Structure 1
């Protein structure tokens, strides 16, 4: 009798399990889901999240199959993957660690769920933040980092790994691998042409991703042939569009010209046919370009624009605000000829970014925000960069693709899409960003690793920053 009863109870339990609806932690209900790959918008979708993952995406007819502990009614809202800022900096030395950490809230408050740290001197702190963010102990974006930059002896930026030959290059790359960095960032202040190309080649041999500024003593073809994966900023690509690139490069090598003094000549010798060849090379070799248009415009017009009333200035700590002085003084002391050249360069970059995109070169949206970069504010500046890309000729969809999709592609990470088993890093907007790129700033909520931040939560993050 006991055996029969046990069997009956087992059958009843099995039936109960089979008929019980599966449960999620959160469902985003009745939302317009944006597919950033295709540009399609799917209405009345239900996105189910458990832990830090999307467990399924259903339409209204199927949604009754799953229950959720919490329901977010997103009727009339638009859901897309979280934004990526593909060029930021955490730096300024030990005295600015707390102020840099304080900026993490600004990214989430602006719907930026991932950043690419392009070199600094706070690597141990950054890696500590990475661990805390992953565990949920700290609010902030996913951080991919290069760790310290590689440069030559007497490098401009503190904390750089200085190399002057093969042994030091190998040692620098060893240390970066021990740090488990996500890519190698090379800077151009003092590194020689030969060592620059050697760093790229040796890093590529180790299967490390490379990006960097590019010394004007190196041609675009030389960097691409060595295996560089991305070029930060447009100065270097622009030189590759000059009919006189080789002679300009040689003049820099011999000391007859410098970086800044070469730029007028670079612009004056721009050649459409040379540019087309350069674009083809970059496209064929899958080299990414990071235009950083917004910071270029901001720094080019420091002599004209007064930033003292910027709404985001109050979120910068006094130490970071103090670092702005270098750029400001440079602008004040610049010659009239330099001021004109810098503004001409700004216009040239806008055209170049559009031309690169139209010719199939992959772009990465990055703001270059952080200490020492005056009035380019973490969080807000990525939205301004997206607008700058639209102004350069990209559609809102194409501009958005340069953020998360291209960012993941460059770092060889899983494609960030709204689909089953994807990480739940999402942005919920009040209006469709495909119609107007400024709608990326009209946030209704942000989901980071499955954690929901309401509009009030996002405002509280901003208040927390301003009260520090």
Structure 2
């Protein structure tokens, strides 16, 4: 019998199948495991998985192990198996940071993240190329879904966006993005006018495209939802639903009788929880998902009282990458103690909404918003930080696992292949040393990764991290930073 135990796997990833698919491709039997059914939140014991190439061919009683004497066998040592995690909001950005971002792709895998949704950047052609190379197994990294370029108004703050000032511009932009074969549409609100904002969402829906966006002050959240919005990015926007006059405020902004700054000031006090609950029920009815991205707000709220200079993850980030953190640090440098406390209070209020959103039946998507521009929101690690914030906010570990697995797969219409452990699905799997249904921190206790038909044990994953650390040093030496 050909037996492979986790402690004996070679440091190189073990290919489970030959390059040329065959009907007789070798089998891998993963046994002595406890696997998490993320659809029910239950732990399933005394079952094994039969994997051929990169798919789960069968799930059988453990006693059937003797039926596979010629198969490779992977003894899970009683560990806990979950689907690969998906980070549903990341950015690969920085025209001068291509290699700095690229070195992080294998790091995602070392953190158990097998899929990312890239919410647009100024590296659209590069990211689209990475997407194809990963799919072709020519580049090691998580599966990438990308918006390419995001829609914005003329002369916006953001570099590399797709700026539009008319409906004709928008239609041409939509054609361009479809030709690029983006996976969804992203819209932000820096300078894009409200009417054109709504028209862009409606056009995306008309073309059967997923569309994710921020919330401009000049439109109500219900208007966006009724126009066909697929997801709201950042739960901070949802606090506006706690104001009965939200639609009236939006109308005043559109009419020019209220500025964005005045609207922002209006929303600082007076939040009503019961009013917000009505809004959450509306979002559920209109099938709008929410990506909370709590970790960014948490990092900024505690920026003044946290020393990040010795953070372990910095060993994977070049100085050129982290130099982009400074713009937010400088912007917040003169905040008063009162302003700092207001920031903390708002961060706590946003987090407190998660159980209400869950109870309303809204699809929650776990996303970190990691990016070079987002201060101390570290790629890969930040997803685990986000999941732990979900737990602190009151979600159960089972609910949290759904936000990082099946919810994302369903949202992206990929749940036929991804998001849960089931026969016929891709065998993108993570073996944990601890039970994630007891404490979501267990998602960090990664022992083994199965991805794209290969097995990566802990030693191999550590090797990926070491290679990323070395690549970072090489880039810094090259640039003299």
Q: Structure 1 CA distance, aligned partners of 2:122 and 2:70?
A: 44
- Counterpart CA distance in 2 for 1:357 and 1:260 is 31
- Give the corresponding residue for 2:37: 35
- Structure 1 counterpart of 2:84, from 82, 85, 90: 82
Evaluate the alpha carbon distance shift between residue 71 and residue 261 of structure 1 in structure 2; reply closer, same or farther with a 3 A threshold: farther
> Any conservation in 2 of the 1:313–1:375 contact (CA below 8 Å)?
no
Change (3 A) 1:264 1:283: same
Whether the aligned pair in 2 keeps the contact of 1:23 and 1:69 (CA below 8 Å) is no
Q: Is it true that 1:421 corresponds to 2:424 in the alignment?
A: yes
One of 56, 59, 78 as aligned partner of 1:57: 59
Partner of 1:463: 466
Query: Displacement of 1:158 after TM fit?
Result: 1.1
Per-residue deviation, residues 255-276 of structure 1 (Å, max 9, x unmatched): 5655565445324221233212
- Which residue of the partner structure matches residue 140 of structure 2? 139
For residues 307 and 107 of structure 1, the distance between their equivalents in structure 2, rounded to whole angstroms, comes to 21
SS in 2 for 1:280: helix
Aligned residue for 2:421, secondary structure, equals coil
Task: Provide the C-alpha distance between the structure 1 equivalents of 2:58 and 2:43, rounded to a whole number of angstroms.
Answer: 17
Deviation at 1:290, TM superposition (A): 0.8
* Displacement after TM superposition at 1:138 (Å): 1.7
| Alignment partner of 1:162 is 2:163 | yes
1:26, distance to aligned residue in structure 2 (A) = 2.0
Whole-angstrom distance in 1 between the partners of 2:307 and 2:38: 36
Helix, strand or coil for the counterpart of 2:370?
coil
What TM-score results when the alignment is normalised by the length of structure 2?
Answer: 0.89
Aligned mates of 1:361, 1:258 — CA distance in 2: 31
Name the CA distance, whole Å, in 1 between partners of 2:404 and 2:431: 16
Render the CA deviation track for 1:417-441: whole Å, top value 9, x for unaligned. 2222211100000111001111110
- Unaligned runs of at least 5 residues, structure 2: 1-22, 472-481
Stretch of structure 1 that moved more, 415-424 or 148-157: 415-424
Report the CA distance between 1:194 and its aligned residue.
Answer: 0.5
Q: Post-superposition shift, 1:23?
A: 6.7
Distance in 1, Cα, partners of 2:383 & 2:371:
12
Aligned twin of 1:449: 452
- The Cα shift of 1:137 comes to 2.0
- Whether the 8 Å CA contact 1:243–1:269 is kept in 2: the answer is no
Q: CA deviation at 1:56?
A: 1.5
Aligned 1:74-223 pairs, distance under 5 A: 74-93=76-95, 95-223=96-224
Contact 1:24 1:67 in 2 (8 A): no
Name the CA distance, whole Å, in 2 between partners of 1:106 and 1:260.
Answer: 40
Instruction: Look up the match of 2:243.
Output: 242
Offset, 1:62? 2.2
Q: Contact conserved, 1:113 with 1:141, CA < 8 A, in 2?
A: yes
Map of 2:5 onto structure 1: none
Whether 2:435 is the aligned partner of 1:435: answer no
Secondary structure of the 1:108 match is: helix
Cα RMSD (Å): 1.8
Asked if 1 retains the 8 angstrom alpha-carbon contact of 2:405 and 2:420, the reply is no
When residues 172 and 464 of structure 1 are mapped into structure 2, their CA distance, relative to the original with a 3 A threshold, is same
1:17-51 superposed Cα distances (whole Å, 9 cap, x missing partner): xxxx9773422121111111112212132212222
Q: CA deviation at 1:443?
A: 0.7
Greater CA deviation, 271-280 or 110-119?
271-280
CA contact (8 A) 1:22 1:65 kept: no
Per the TM alignment, residue 244 of structure 1 is displaced from its structure 2 partner at its CA by 2.6
Q: Structure 1: which 5+ residue stretches go unaligned? A: 1-20
Q: State the shift of 1:448 in Å.
A: 1.0
| 8 Å CA contact retained: 1:24, 1:48 | no
TM-score (norm 1): 0.92
List aligned pairs for 1:329-344, cutoff 5 A.
Answer: 329-344=330-345
- Residues 258 and 325 of structure 1: is their aligned pair in 2 closer, same or farther, counting only changes over 3 Å? farther
Distance 1:327 1:207 in 2: 36
1:376 aligns with 2:359: no
Q: Tell me, what secondary structure is at the counterpart of 1:29?
A: strand
Change (3 A) 1:455 1:248: same
* 1:210-245 deviation line (CA, Å, top 9, x unaligned): 001111111011101111010000232111221231
Cα distance in 1 for residues equivalent to 2:317 and 2:255: 42
Paired with 1:246 and 1:282, the residues of 2 have a C-alpha distance of 15
- Displacement of 1:87 after TM fit? 0.4
2:122 touches 2:159 (CA, 8 Å); kept in 1? Answer: yes
Judge conservation of contact 2:25–2:53 (CA < 8 Å) in 1.
Answer: no
Give matches, 1:9-28, under 5 Å.
24-28=26-30
Q: What is the deviation of 1:351?
A: 1.1
Change (3 A) 1:260 1:62: farther
2 CA distance for matches of 1:99 and 1:439? 29
